[in-house]
Structure 1
Amino acid sequence: MLYGMLFLSGGALFALALTWRPAIAPIPVPAPGSFPAGMVERGAVLARLGDCAVCHTAEGGRPLAGGRALATPFGTLYSDNLTPDPDTGIGTWSAEAFRRAMKDGVSRTGSHLYPALPYEHFTHVSDGDLDALYAFLMTRRAVRQKAPANRLIPPLGFRPLLAGWKMLFLHKGAIIVDPARSAEWNRGAYLVEGLGHCGGCHTPRNIAGGEVRSRAYAGGIAEGWRAPPLDRSNPAARGWTPDALYTYLRTGISPDHSAAAGPMGPVVESLSAVPEEDVRAIATYIASRMAGADAGSPSRPTPDDPVRAARLFPEGATLYAGACAGCHGPGAPMMGQGRPALGLASALRDEVPTSAIQAILRGIEPPVAGRGPKMPPFADSLTDAQVAAVLGYARSRYTDRPAWSKLDRAVARARKESAQP
């Protein structure tokens, strides 16, 4: 009995030692003028490349002040305040403390951070870039705003458990330069795998929430939307070239492919204001990952068989004629404004209907200065069965892909997810 108690106590102490991280002493809030202007400007670009404001700004809130609800399979997390407020933000954090948070997922006080902060990618960012990002954040206007308490499934609110998660899924180290590739490709690899954290959405995750590295960029889920594969399984009707990807990432639309929707909209908004060479590098790297995808020739017409589709989905044909054809039908005025044909839309061709469903339920907003395709939401005007009927009809009419199975259940599930948190 005594030996058992000693063994358990020793095991507990060992586990505690593995999870314990020391606090880093607070510092006085640095004066904004203490950071070189060039460093701050570089940090501003890096913040856009990392989409910092997207997750760290609550709806209708002050930029970077945190409090945005982030729905996860394990409950709801709320993003932290990244402004230099000394009490509720990072005003008393040193550059060392900031680097540790970004690379190791540990806060200044020593507590483990949840991987909603994608430190599994940020760990690959150079110290110089992290210091520039720190300089940018510390020169923003301080906002006093405390994030709400996280709402997680017990016992996941016990942060020391995250130490075990990191042992399994946090892989540190710099992005290795490939000498056989161009400087542009290597720059793209560094941005995509690091600050851009594209794999955070476009890679499937396991039951513990870790990225399945053996299936990198095979598609994932982001805020209830499907992040399509960025590998050879990409469902595009026409292969993505670096130029097409550049246009899409910069403007939110590629006439031969898709329009940005859902979480991709804010990404495009951020990338529209960074140096062109960085976006081209990202496009070059991602296009290389998708090289060899089974996509048709740009000159090949897309399918359009309304008779067959109406026979299979009569209700969908009626609904489509009333709600969709005015913008998406052949000869519709909207089609002359750079809107991709439905047969080219990746969401309609994907093996998973999630994003096509969400586009109907939530609509699409132009991500850059109000320019580009806009689609109203139909969540309040169409039932789950009607959404399923419209999508079944559209997929049958405009693509050569097999019908989605159990589409009505997928619509119900997507509608529930779109209402969270």
Structure 2
Amino acid sequence: MNAEIITIGDEILIGQIVDTNSQWIGQQLNKIGVSVYQITSIQDDKEHILNALKEAQERVGIVIITGGLGPTKDDITKKTMAEFFNDGKVIEYPEVVVHIQKMFKKYNIPYKKVQQYQAQLPSKATLLMNNLGTAPGMWFYENNTVFVSLPGVPYEMKGLITHQVLPRIQKKFKLPFIIHKTIMTYGQGESTIAERIEDFENNLPPDIKLAYLPSFGRVRLRLSAKGENKEELETALNAKVNEVYQLIPEIITGLDDDSSLEKKVGELLKKSNQTIATAESLTGGKIAATLVSVAGSSAYYKGSFVTYSAETKIKLLDVSAETIKKHTVVSGEVALEMARGVKEKLQTNYAIAVTGNAGPTADHNDKSVGLVYIAFVSDDKEIVQEFNFGQPREKVINRTVSKALEILQKEIH
């Protein structure tokens, strides 16, 4: 079964908000065996909506629409849906009126007659009660296609999808199983990995697909299978995962997003009951933010110094002014003194520090844009590595973060 997601709202098209609804809906549909065929974003315009619905009906069996529901004049989805289904009759649901009144009373908001419009649905619609908001969802079925219209407010949409839409879809359709296994890698680019596992990829059976999902310093390898027998799919995918592990073992951190580098670093530190601190210049605290994104990181992460200027490096981390004068702030020598300084200040087992030129200009030194130094210090070891991550600025910063985490995973013991 294929589905299409249609998001309605000028605010999405002009970039005022990011469409996270479609991403989340796609994930939930995939879990129950529904493949998303297309995602479309359109204006709050009647003709545009009508065309999108007509085209979607020709492509898929499930159409999910978010946005454009409410009491105001610019919320035209309900009227347009009624026109699409040639439905001139309206039904008012007293339970929705009571629900809206209770919500307004709870938050001390005066109830206005205009709100009652939200309780009025086209007669061909099945009411989807929105317990978290005032605009109910609508379920239509015509010409072998399900149409679901939901409010665009994320938490309201999620409640309706979870408790009403997904159970109805599962009851109405016989759905296959869709299973993914995602292998997390680091340290090598997509093309290098593809070359190393080329024979494996060429010999995959037709019911198993491989996708490369690259980001800064990391590549996720997603193996996917779709079929009627869940156990057989699991067995087949696990066998292929094991093959990949044998081909590129040294760059794999684990399966799925739970095996991120930051989580692996945290697990190593917890296991050895050790601590770490960070000192950052060009990354502006992003290494710290990544490490503390892991639940329970307070057990091993002690803090960070973001020393963006030469003055703060000297004042907060005891970096020598002479070292800066001789080598500039973008140097291995300064990175090493930063790492030593933060380790001493926060009394940790490990420390890592970064300094470099993220761009777009080289500031007040002669070092090229993209040049980065990363220093690692432990109780018995000190290392400094030089990298050139090129441009643009965002790439340099993100690759610095990834490389710092790679070094930590390698060196912590």
**Smaller-chain TM-score bracket:** under 0.3
Calculate the TM-score normalised by the size of structure 1. 0.26
Larger Rg: 2
Calculate the TM-score normalised by the size of structure 2. 0.26
- Higher share of residues assigned strand: 2
Q: Which has the higher contact order (CA 8 A, sep 6+)?
A: 1
